[in-house]
Structure formats: structure tokens, C-alpha cells
Amino acid sequence: MELKERVALVTAAGSGIGRAGAMAMAREGAHVVVTDLLHDRAEAVAAEIAARGGRAEAMSLDVTDDAALEGAILGAARRHGRLDVLHSHAGVQVPGRLDQVSAAEMDLSWRLNVRAHFVAARAAMQVMAPRGQGSIIVTSSNSGVQYDREMIAYCTTKHAVIAMVRQIAADFARRNVRCNALCPGFVDTVFNAGFETQMGGRVALERYVADTIPMGRFGTAEEIGEAVLYLASDRSAFMSGHALVIDGAESI
């Protein structure tokens, strides 16, 4: 097992990509701390991991609460004596152009899509740097390497978090702590609600995916979960500061 005896913490792990990554890491032997804003969803994922023979614990967590976020990460490290992987996944998608997005909505985007990842990474680094090992995975988006139409808050923050990931990677490479950005394209989860509304409904979104993405389909959460496993494991031991784009060639 590639992650045997390792400890991983995942935010927003109650559904979609967060869940898929947690499941993939547990399958490979990691003890996964499953966190989500809704405790019932976190519990359901932890129970599913346990039912498959894995190890997990559930925790409710609001990543916009700095003290709670730092406490969850440092508490997990204290309980288990280590923290090997952080997948900071929580985020928000606010659609709209400059004239359609309020300053409050931009602040919310920044708080969830950049600042919460900063707080989480900073807490994890307190554990990982002294031990001289660790993998921090931050979810960005293929919107962080291209420019969507009428998505100013989302694109701005997703570009920003890639810059932050690269800075962390450069600053801590000699401490053997890796930091990479996960950049999914269209994955068929509820997170696409903003794009779906913007495009005029589910049928229009499906038409866009079929016509615009070269592979002609949505990605699956499980496909992105395998990428999480890759970034968490020693398979990617010489990779840091990278934006791993998985989008069916949409951004080319």
C-alpha cells in the first residue's frame, strides 16, 4: 500500500472530488481525517471507508474559521503523532462579470479559494517542516491556467492560489515538503452550479461539455481522486510547485 501508516486530512471531503480523494488515499492505507462543513456528510464518507476496510475519522469543519481550521489540522497531528498529507479542497464558485459580482462576493471567493488554503497550509507546515516530509495539495481549477468568460471572482482566485502554491513549494523544497495545485476541469458534481446557471441550465452545460471539451465528456470525481493519490504518494516525490491540470484537454 502506497500510503500505509500515513495520516491525511481532507477539507470538503463529504462529497465529489474531496470524497473521491479521501477514498483513494484510504484504499492505499492512509488514515484519513474526513472533514466537511456538514458533519453528517463527513460521517457518511468515514463510514464508507471503514466498511471497505480502511481507517478514517469524521469531523465537522468550517474552513472560514481560522482557529477551527488550524485546530483541526494540528489536533489531527497530535492525535496520530504525524501529518503526512493535507488536501485543502474547500472552495466556492461565484459566477459573473466585473459589473455583476459584488465586493462581498469577491471577498467570499478570496476567503474560501485563497485565504483558507493559506491558513490550512500554514498549519500543516508547522508539523511537516520539522519532520522534513509532507505533501500539501491545494485544489485550484483549470480556471487557474486559463480565463473563463464571466467568471471574474472564480478565475482571479484560482490563478492566485496557484501562485501561492508555487511560492510555498519554492520556499520549502529544501525541507522536503512538497506543495502542488490540483486543477480539475469540468467534473460532474454539484460544484458546477455556478457554471450551470451561467450557461442557462443543465442541458446547455451538457452541450457545452460535449462541444467544447476535446474529449467530449465530463471528468469523474474518481479520476480526480486518482490524481490526488498520485500527489499524496511517493510517486510524485520529485514534483513540487506544479499545477496538475486534468480537464480532457479543455485548456489547450
Averaged pLDDT, 170-182: 98
% of residues, the chain, pLDDT over 90: 87
Contact 34, 57 (CB under 8 A): yes
Q: Does some domain include residue 196?
A: no
Q: Does some domain include residue 197?
A: no
Q: What would the grid cell of residue 159 be?
A: 490563478
Q: What is the pLDDT of residue 185?
A: 93
Report the CATH number that the domain containing residue 94 is assigned in CATH.
3.40.50.720
Q: What is the pLDDT of residue 161?
A: 98
Per the structure, the complete domain to which residue 66 belongs is given by: 7-189+220-246
Q: Which residue has the higher pLDDT, 33 or 149?
A: 33
Spatial separation of the C-alpha atoms in residues 182 and 246, rounded to whole Å: 8
Q: What is the pLDDT of residue 50?
A: 98
Q: Does some domain include residue 74?
A: yes
Mind listing the pLDDT tens digit for each residue in 204-222?
A: 888 888 888 999 999 999 9
* Strand-pair partners of 58: 34
- Looking at the whole model, is its pTM more than 0.75? yes
Q: Does some domain include residue 194?
A: no
Least confident stretch, 99-103, 181-185, 199-203: 199-203
Taking the CA atoms of residue 98, residue 104, residue 108 and residue 109 in that order, the dihedral angle to the nearest 10 degrees is: 10
Place 64 in a pLDDT band, splitting at 50, 70 and 90.
very high
pLDDT of residue 200 exceeding 90, the answer is: no
Q: Does some domain include residue 202?
A: no
Query: Is residue 147 annotated as part of the catalytic site, yes or no?
Result: no
- CA 238 vs. chain centroid, Å, equals 20
**What is the average pLDDT score of the chain?**
95
Residue with cell 485544489: 139
Place 148 in a pLDDT band, splitting at 50, 70 and 90.
confident
Planar angle of CA 149, 152, 154, nearest 5 degrees:
100
Number of structural domains, the chain?
Answer: 1
Q: Does some domain include residue 34?
A: yes
pLDDT of residue 193 exceeding 80, the answer is: no
Q: What would the grid cell of residue 244 be?
A: 496538475
Contact 152, 143 (CB under 8 A): no
Spatial separation of the C-alpha atoms in residues 73 and 71, rounded to whole Å: 5
Place 228 in a pLDDT band, splitting at 50, 70 and 90.
very high
pLDDT of residue 49 exceeding 80, the answer is: yes
Side-chain half-sphere CA neighbours of 117 within 13 A: 29
Q: What are phi and psi of 65, to 5 degrees?
A: -95, 100
Q: Does some domain include residue 251?
A: no
Least confident stretch, 12-21, 100-109, 193-202, 231-240: 193-202
pLDDT of residue 169 exceeding 90, the answer is: yes
Side-chain half-sphere CA neighbours of 76 within 13 A: 31
Closest CA to 90 of 10, 151, 33, 167: 10
Averaged pLDDT, 9-28: 98
Q: What is the pLDDT of residue 188?
A: 86
Q: Of the listed 147, 154, 208, 230, which one is catalytic? A: 154
Q: What is the pLDDT of residue 203?
A: 85
Q: What is the pLDDT of residue 199?
A: 72
Q: Does some domain include residue 212?
A: no
Spatial separation of the C-alpha atoms in residues 76 and 74, rounded to whole Å: 5
Mind listing the pLDDT tens digit for each residue in 78-131?
A: 999 999 999 999 999 999 999 999 999 999 999 999 999 999 999 999 999 999
